[in-house]
Amino acid sequence: MLSGKQKFQLFAAFATLLTLVLSVGCHGFFTNPTLTAIAVGPQATINQGTQVQMTAVGTYNDGTENTIQSGVNWSTSDQTIATINTGGLVTGVSPGSATITASDQAVNGSTTVTVTITGLTAIQVTPLNTTVKGSGTVQYKATGTVNGKQEDLTDIVTWSTSDTTGLVDISSTGLATITTDPTQQTVVTITATEGSVQGTATLTCNP
- Within this chain, domains 35-116 and 120-206 share the same CATH topology: yes
pLDDT computed for residue 31 by the predictor: 77
Cα separation of 193 and 197, whole Å?
A: 6
Confidence of residue 20 (pLDDT cuts 50, 70, 90): very low
Cα separation of 167 and 197, whole Å?
A: 26
Confidence of residue 16 (pLDDT cuts 50, 70, 90): low
Q: Are 60 and 36 in contact (CB under 8 A)?
A: yes
**Would you list the domain boundaries of the chain?**
1-28, 35-116, 120-206
pLDDT of residue 29 exceeding 70, the answer is no
- CATH of the structural domain 120-206, one choice from 3.40.50.720, 3.20.20.10, 3.40.50.1390, 2.60.40.1080: 2.60.40.1080
pLDDT of residue 26 exceeding 50, the answer is no
pLDDT of residue 12 exceeding 60, the answer is no
pLDDT of residue 15 exceeding 90, the answer is no
Show the CA angle centred on residue 122, arms to residues 117 and 125, nearest 5°: 105
Q: How is the beta sheet containing 35-41 ordered, strand by strand?
A: 35-41, 55-60, 65-67
Cα separation of 37 and 56, whole Å?
A: 10
Q: Which residue has the higher pLDDT, 207 or 69?
A: 207
Query: What is the pLDDT averaged over residues 71-90?
Result: 96
pLDDT computed for residue 21 by the predictor: 43
Tell me which architecture the domain covering 35-116 has in CATH: Sandwich (2.60)
